[in-house]
Chain A
């Protein structure tokens, strides 16, 4: 499903229809991106050098150097995000995508960001985690007037400390973040930093969640808890790019959480350390090894590890429903329900009916059932051994022995060395005489035969 193709920097420059060229004459041309594929890292053409990040299924915006000032132009606008092939969502984003482009600068850079509003309502941008003059903090009504539709505002400050940050609106933010308005901001250290390691691979993504009614295209912005689309950078498994690494690479993952709940981000086969938060690098004495770290709401985490174990390793949010696509949260559990004699009768009334959930929901991962248009299935994705039964905040870390330093392409499925895959036991059969202790619907030690006529009354069960 995932086609890993890299776009060299910003793909196309699109001038807005609603903002005239004359009005934009003094502004940097806004770069725009139409693809949801992962773009190649943007090697800085000017300014202080740094090692760029890779934004999963995203891109880094180019800038214009203007008398030593890095000038960016963000355009807030409605976009259609391909959350997965065949599943597109109406969102609000920046420069053609949600999330917006990653802004990469170097500690000490003077930054000027032009923000043009092409939304139907006012907005602002808050530079989450930055040290800056109060009036540049982007809180509508508090530190600045709102940016009315059609207007362009300019933010001007110095990126004072290195780290992982993000940007998002601080005006009608419940709606605007539910619609996907967000982006990453990476400030690279200007020189070697004792707490910031040089890494070989630097991946960045934001966590966001949406509630899209099956068959609809626009998220329900009034939802507060019951989301059904859980994304890394507004993409879901299997449409999220894998993180690839050459064996022995030091890998950094930068994760920011703009959903309304926490996400225990978990990686298989390796242990990592949280080396930084949006507060800055973590002192070495405060780091401890983990395989899961919780990224709370509104937080950012930098995790680092050595990718020394070959294979295709799962990397996902450990809340199991966050690795599910859209599903009915009110559907009753059907496990263990005897359907004998009923299926053909139901099919007389509803010809396309099939039993589902009788043995659990795993069937869903394998079945290709027709769904409402533009609906992301609950379980999907196929691996080399069968259905993955995932959909949401899930991707893979692919560690390979042979990989070019700047090669980020999907290397395909891992070829396991002989004898290293779990397999069916072919020895003596298991002891089948072990009795089953309880039957479904019956409490342990409950009498196995009920007296006729007593099973309708309260209190007769115990």
Chain B
């Protein structure tokens, strides 16, 4: 009775081991929902939806792409993410396959000798496969959960990479405009110097000095232009855009930084949040569960290998007499644990458990540290950006105004006025960069507290083909 119920349960489970229709995307979506912009969606597994998604992307691209929209587009459109999601679906199919009972083996034979014809019919069935089904089902389930968590991390990493790329692209665009202004000032200075020389007010040296400023400025403008292109390309790549889509517009300004320190995220609960929320820790915890649970299985598997049950139904016919003899019966195939009692296998699982535990510990340690350091970076980035906004920019404006007054009084020349304008513009660029760095630090902090390691986490690096992981640590 008891055995029957186990068997029945196994069969039921086996029946449940169907392939998830959306390739587990729903699970990934659920894990990441609260950490993504509102209405952000993963690409549907259903290929019919693609036209719809492309249409939506097309609509988004009509307007200047804000930060959240960039993330929405990237999630729908980034091909690397689609690779990862497809891999997840493949893995899910493999799991379902692994949980499906092996088909029984039917062996048919026809043997003749001088006086007999023998028909052999055997139906063989691997028994361990059935007995261990609940077990396997459980840890394969865990494994899928872990894979889902890993995919979720990839989603969050992509979102963070896209945010950073967006911030860099917008800042680079702002810097480009500022550089154009700086260059205008330098070119004006050079032109005026040329006219000064033409009427004999400047000598060659004075003129050459102003010209060299213009040349240096032109070179700097070229570098700024390249940088803006590169940053924009990086963003387009992450959003999976090509062709005419790459003509998208970006807002002219980065979002303003929080006005006062009281609007910032407090740092005292950072470590606790990271330990509670981070998906990489949850994945590693699953790893540990799986390896620990596998310990029992590995012993059974190693000792018993596969227990085979065979049912035979043979028929032999005497050629002369026509007498038919039927044999029915079953065979049980048991490996004898004489040489391998499973010792090495269990040693291996013990070591694997230890390894998993150590990995979890290491990741937790890193998560704590990252929570602290990213909070510090976030806080300092705000201080620096706020200083730029509240102190440096007003001071630069004051210097500019005073220079204008000095020009009015003929204490300074127009070249000094233009040089000051260039300096002021550079100060604006610096302030923009500080603003950008604050938002990047904020993105990193969010990821470090609720997602995964902002610098990319080693155990998953192999499956993360996203090239931005290398870059995200290096700003």
Query: Footprint of B on A, CB under 8 Å?
Result: 214-215, 326-328, 330-339, 342, 345-346, 348-350, 352-354, 356-357, 361, 364, 369-372, 375, 377-378, 440-442
Contact = CB atoms under 8 A, between A and B. Distances in A.
Given A214-B409, A349-B188, A353-B417, 19 more contacts: A214-B411, A215-B402, A215-B406, A326-B409, A327-B411, A331-B410, A331-B411, A336-B201, A342-B191, A342-B192, A349-B418, A350-B400, A353-B407, A354-B408, A356-B407, A369-B409, A371-B408, A440-B200, A441-B197
Interface string B379-410: 00000000000000000000010101111111
Given A334-B201, A350-B417, A371 B405 contact: yes
Given A337-B199, A356-B410, A345 B192 contact: no
Contacts of A333: 201
A378 B410 contact: yes
B188 A327 contact: no
B196 interface: yes
B195 A338 contact: yes
A441 B410 contact: no
Contact of A350 (B402, B404, B410): B404
Given A371-B405, A372-B402, A337 B196 contact: yes
B460 interface: no
B187 to A, nearest CB: 9
Q: Which of A215, A331, A336, A361 has the most CB of B within 10 A?
A: A331
Q: List the 9 closest pairs (A to B, CB-CB), nearest first.
A: A369-B408, A328-B411, A441-B200, A440-B199, A441-B199, A336-B199, A371-B409, A372-B405, A331-B413
Contacts of A364: 410
Given A328-B411, A331-B411, A331-B413, A349 B181 contact: yes
Contacts of A361: 410
Given A350-B404, A353-B417, A332 B410 contact: no
Contacts of A334: 196, 201, 414
A7 to B, nearest CB: 33
Contacts of A442: 200
B184 interface: yes
Contacts of B413: 328, 330-332
Interface in B190-235: 191-192, 195-202, 206
B409 A378 contact: yes
A339 B196 CA distance: 10
A352 B181 CA distance: 16
Contacts of B410: 327-328, 331, 356-357, 361, 364, 378
Given A346-B188, A372-B402, A337 B201 contact: yes
A450 to B, nearest CB: 12
Interface in B162-188: 181, 184-185, 188
Interface residues of B, number: 32
Interface in B399-433: 400, 402, 404-415, 417-418, 421
Contacts of A354: 408
A327 B184 CA distance: 28
A181 B404 CA distance: 34
Contacts of B412: 328, 331
A377 B201 contact: no
Contact of A332 (B202, B406, B418): B202
A436 B407 CA distance: 33
Contacts of B192: 337, 339, 342
Interface of B: 181, 184-185, 188, 191-192, 195-202, 206, 400, 402, 404-415, 417-418, 421
Given A331-B413, A332-B196, A348 B404 contact: no
B223 to A, nearest CB: 20
Given A333-B201, A440-B199, A345 B184 contact: yes
A352 B199 contact: no
A214 B407 CA distance: 11
B224 to A, nearest CB: 17
A372 B418 CA distance: 18
A364 B409 CA distance: 8
B185 A349 contact: yes
A214 B408 CA distance: 11
A305 B74 CA distance: 94
A287 to B, nearest CB: 42
Contacts of A346: 188, 414, 418
A332 B192 CA distance: 12
A191 to B, nearest CB: 53
A173 B73 CA distance: 77
A362 to B, nearest CB: 12
A352 B201 contact: no
A244 B138 CA distance: 114
Nearest to A336: B199
A378 to B, nearest CB: 6
Contacts of A338: 195, 198-199
A339 B402 CA distance: 23
B404 A377 contact: no
A327 B411 CA distance: 5
A345 B414 CA distance: 13
Contacts of B414: 334, 346, 353
Nearest to A376: B409
Contacts of A335: 199, 201
Contacts of B408: 354, 356, 369-371
Nearest to B412: A328
B201 A372 contact: no
B462 to A, nearest CB: 53
Contacts of A357: 410
Given A214-B411, A346-B418, A332 B405 contact: no
A332 B181 contact: no
A352 B420 CA distance: 14
Contacts of B185: 349
A416 B200 CA distance: 43
A429 B404 CA distance: 42
B198 A441 contact: yes
Nearest to B181: A349
B200 to A, nearest CB: 4
A377 B411 CA distance: 10
A352 B184 CA distance: 17
Contact of B409 (A342, A348, A372, A441): A372
Nearest to B420: A350
B411 A332 contact: no
B203 to A, nearest CB: 10
B184 A348 contact: yes
Nearest to B421: A349
B373 to A, nearest CB: 41
B199 A328 contact: no
Contacts of A370: 405, 408
B436 to A, nearest CB: 24
Nearest to B202: A332
Contacts of A377: 409
B472 to A, nearest CB: 37
A352 B402 CA distance: 12
A373 to B, nearest CB: 8
A352 B404 contact: yes
A344 to B, nearest CB: 11
A29 B356 CA distance: 95
